[in-house]
């Protein structure tokens, strides 16, 4: 294998998707009451939810160190000539900066600041895998992906602001008001950072239908080759199917890819958070 594509665990690709594209991931750290866990290895989102429901404090995520990256890169380089590694937005974490230092030490490693999170990164990873299959070099893939980052449209609707409040990302007054009014904020990634794009009102199922319609209806700028539906758990199969059915109303996507958010997104947004993520032409 000439070029290998890898990522931090925050890409939120499913095990099946990782296997299909041969993607190895490096788990980020999640801290609960001072104890360190590895995302998806020692801890899953349900563990965080149970911890908080039992009266525990909200967890925190910690960046990978330079040493972590050196060890991972050296192991991955054993069966490839070049490595292209994806990271959460550098505006959200120091992972990218640490990896760049490690990449210089190891050599032939190209670190990519996705300017995104979750399957917003996953979309770019699949693009990179397709480029690698065409024989593009690591440097060519890096340059092509850097040009595509701004085309990713990533957003999520959050059912409850409780986790945002407990994590210090929403004031107590705002959280109380949102819950009393039944507001569901839509969190959108713009220029590598998260912000509130809109607030929906009502039950989550109704809000998600409105959200999907507003994101997809009448759009001619969407790359319809693939779209992700990513959720943090807590939904029924019927609720998830309703979202997928709504997505199908507006475009004939080549692939509708479903995945679960890992601990990084789930820790900050809590259960019953869902987003549709896609690329623009």
User: What average pLDDT does the segment 18-36 reach?
Assistant: 93
DSSP 8-state assignment for residue 236: -
pLDDT > 90: percent of the chain: 76
Q: pLDDT digits over 94-135, tens only?
A: 999 999 999 999 999 999 999 999 999 999 999 999 999 999
Half-sphere exposure of 112 (CA within 13 A, CB side): 30
pLDDT of residue 174: 40
Task: List phi, psi (to 5°) of 4.
Answer: -115, 140
* CB-count exposure of residue 2 (10 Å: 0-12, 13-18, 19+): exposed
Residue 220 clears pLDDT 90, i.e. is over it:
yes
Domain extents in the chain: 3-28+62-149, 152-280
Query: Tens of pLDDT along 171-219?
Result: 333 433 344 346 788 989 999 988 888 889 889 999 999 999 999 999 9
Residue 40's contacts (CB-CB under 8 Å, 6 or more residues apart) are: 9, 25, 27, 262, 263
* Dihedral angle over CA of 85, 64, 151, 104, nearest 10: -40
CATH topology of domain 152-280: Hypothetical Protein Tm841; Chain: A;domain 3 (3.30.1180)
What's the confidence (pLDDT) of residue 62?
87
Please provide the DSSP assignment of 77-136 as one string.
GGG-SEEEEEES-TTT-SHHHHHHHHHHHH-SEEEEE-SS-THHHHHHHHHHHHHHHTT-
Number of residues assigned to the chain: 281
Which pLDDT belongs to residue 165? 45
Say whether pLDDT at 11 is over 90.
Answer: yes
pLDDT tens readout for residues 256-277? 999 999 998 898 888 999 999 9
Alpha-carbon gap, residue 117 to 58, rounded angstroms: 20
The answer to whether the beta carbons of residues 192 and 89 sit under 8 Å apart is yes
Instruction: Work out whether strand 60-62 and strand 82-87 pair parallel, antiparallel, or are unpaired.
Output: unpaired
pLDDT at 182: 62
Torsion angle defined by CA atoms of residues 112, 114, 119 and 123, in that order, rounded to the nearest 10 degrees: -70
Per-residue pLDDT tens over the stretch 76-85: 999 999 999 9
Give me the pLDDT at residue 265, please. 85
Cα distance between residue 248 and residue 110, in whole Å: 36
Band of pLDDT at residue 167, cut at 50, 70 and 90: very low
For domain 3-28+62-149, give the CATH number.
3.40.50.10170
pLDDT of residue 164: 64
| SS3 state at 3 | strand
- For residues 270 and 163, is the Cβ–Cβ distance under 8 A? yes
Pairing of strands 60-62, 29-32: antiparallel
Is the pLDDT assigned to residue 31 strictly greater than 80?
yes
Indicate the pTM of the whole model.
0.93
């Amino acid at each position: 294998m000439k070029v290998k594509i890898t990522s931090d665990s925050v890409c939120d690709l499913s095990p099946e998707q990782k296997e299909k594209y041969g993607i190895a991931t490096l788990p980020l750290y999640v801290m609960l009451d001072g104890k360190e866990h590895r995302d998806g290895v020692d801890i899953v989102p349900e563990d965080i939810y149970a911890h908080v429901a039992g009266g525990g404090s909200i967890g925190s995520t910690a960046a990978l160190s330079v040493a972590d990256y050196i060890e991972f890169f050296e192991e991955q380089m054993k069966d490839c000539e070049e490595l292209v590694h994806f990271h959460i937005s550098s505006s959200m974490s120091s992972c990218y900066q640490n990896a760049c230092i490690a990449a210089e030490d190891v050599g032939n490693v190209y670190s990519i600041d996705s300017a995104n999170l979750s399957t917003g990164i996953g979309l770019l990873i699949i693009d990179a895998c397709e480029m690698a299959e065409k024989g593009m070099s690591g440097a060519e893939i890096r340059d092509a992906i850097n040009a595509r980052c701004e085309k990713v449209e990533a957003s999520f609707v959050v059912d409850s602001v409780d986790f945002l409040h407990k994590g210090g990302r929403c004031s107590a007054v705002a959280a109380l008001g949102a819950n009393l009014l039944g507001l569901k904020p839509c969190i959108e990634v713009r220029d590598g950072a998260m912000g509130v794009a809109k607030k929906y009102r009502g039950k989550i199922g109704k809000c998600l239908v409105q959200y999907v319609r507003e994101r997809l209806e009448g759009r001619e700028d969407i790359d319809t080759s693939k779209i992700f539906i990513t959720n943090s758990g807590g939904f029924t199969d019927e609720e998830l199917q309703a979202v997928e059915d709504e997505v199908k109303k507006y475009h004939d996507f080549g692939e509708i890819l479903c995945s679960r958010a890992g601990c990084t997104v789930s820790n900050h947004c809590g259960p019953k958070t869902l987003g549709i993520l896609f690329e623009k032409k």
